[in-house]
Structure 1
Amino acid sequence: MKNVHLAVLIYLLFIAPFRPLSAQTNVQRINVTELIDSLTSTLDNYYVFPEKAELINKHLRQQLIKKAYEGISDPMKLSEKLLDDIRSVHTDPHMRIYYDSLFTNRNKGEQKPSAEEIEELKRLEKEQNYLFKKVEVLPGNIGYLLFNGFSGDIEGSKSTVSSALKFLINTTAIIIDLRSNGGGSPEMVSYIESYFFQQKTHMNDIIDRLSKDTSYFYADPAKTAGITLKMPVYILTSKRTFSGAEDFSYGMQSVKRAIIVGETTGGGAHPTKPFLLGQGFQINVPFARSLNPYTKTDWEGTGVKPDIQSSANEALKITQTTILQKQLAGIKDEQQKRKIQWAIDRLSASEEFTLSSETHNLFPSTYTGGLNFYVEKDKILCKNNERGGEIFELKPIKKSLFTLDENAHVEFIKDKSGKISSIKLLFENGRIVDKPRIN
Structure 2
Amino acid sequence: MKPTILAIIILLITSCSFAQNVKLTKKEKEQAINSLIQKLNDNYVFPDVAKQAGQSIKKFEKQGVYTKIDNKVELAKLLTNQLRELMHDKHLNLWYNAKENLNLTGKEEEEAIFRQLLKRTNLGFPKIDVLDGNIGYLKINVFGPVDKVKETCAGAMAFLANTDALIIDLRNNQGGEPETVQYLVSYFFGNNPVHINSLYSRKGNKTDEFWTVSVKGAKYLDKPVFILTSESTFSAGEEMSYDLKTQNRATLVGEVTGGAANDGEVENLGNGFFVFIPNGRAINPITHTNWEGVGVQPDVVVPAAKALITAHQMALKTVAEKMPEQEKEFYLKVLENIKSQ
In which range does the TM-score fall when normalised by the shorter chain?
over 0.9
Among 169, 175, 178, the residue aligned to 1:183: 175
Amino acid at match of 1:314: K
Q: Is the 8 A contact 2:92 2:278 kept in 1?
A: yes
Deviation at 1:165, TM superposition (A): 0.5
1:307 aligns with 2:299: yes
Amino acid at match of 2:21: T
Q: Is the 8 A contact 2:23 2:70 kept in 1?
A: no
Deviates more, 1:314-323 or 1:123-132: 123-132
Q: Is the 8 A contact 2:123 2:144 kept in 1?
A: yes
Please state whether the residue corresponding to 2:293 is helix, strand or coil: coil
Q: What is the correspondence of 1:36-435 to structure 2 with a 5 Å cutoff?
A: 36-103=33-100, 111-152=104-145, 154-198=146-190, 199-220=192-213, 222=214, 224-230=215-221, 231-333=223-325, 336-350=327-341
Q: Is the 8 A contact 2:259 2:296 kept in 1?
A: yes
Q: Is the 8 A contact 2:24 2:72 kept in 1?
A: no
Q: Is the 8 A contact 1:174 1:234 kept in 2?
A: yes
Deviation at 1:212, TM superposition (A): 0.8
With over 3 angstroms needed to count, the CA separation of the structure-2 counterparts of 1:143 and 1:20, relative to structure 1, is closer
Deviation at 1:84, TM superposition (A): 2.5
With over 3 angstroms needed to count, the CA separation of the structure-2 counterparts of 1:106 and 1:29, relative to structure 1, is farther
Deviation track 1:209-244 (CA, whole Å, cap 9, x = no partner) reads 121121111112x2x134211112111101011100
Deviation at 1:271, TM superposition (A): 1.2
Amino acid at match of 1:280: G
Amino acid at match of 1:12: L
Structure 2 residue runs of 5 or longer lacking an equivalent are: none
Q: Is the 8 A contact 2:158 2:217 kept in 1?
A: no
Deviation at 1:247, TM superposition (A): 0.7
Please state whether the residue corresponding to 2:163 is helix, strand or coil: coil
Paired position in structure 2 for 1:416: none
- Whose Rg is larger? 1
Structure with greater strand share of residues: 1
Amino acid at match of 1:95: L
Paired position in structure 2 for 1:388: none
Deviation at 1:254, TM superposition (A): 0.9
Q: Is the 8 A contact 1:7 1:113 kept in 2?
A: no
Q: Identity across aligned pairs (percent)? A: 34
Structure with greater helix share of residues: 2
Amino acid at match of 2:124: L
Amino acid at match of 1:5: T
With over 3 angstroms needed to count, the CA separation of the structure-2 counterparts of 1:271 and 1:112, relative to structure 1, is farther
Please state whether the residue corresponding to 2:150 is helix, strand or coil: helix
Amino acid at match of 2:25: R
Structure 1 residue runs of 5 or longer lacking an equivalent are: 351-439
TM-score (norm 1): 0.73
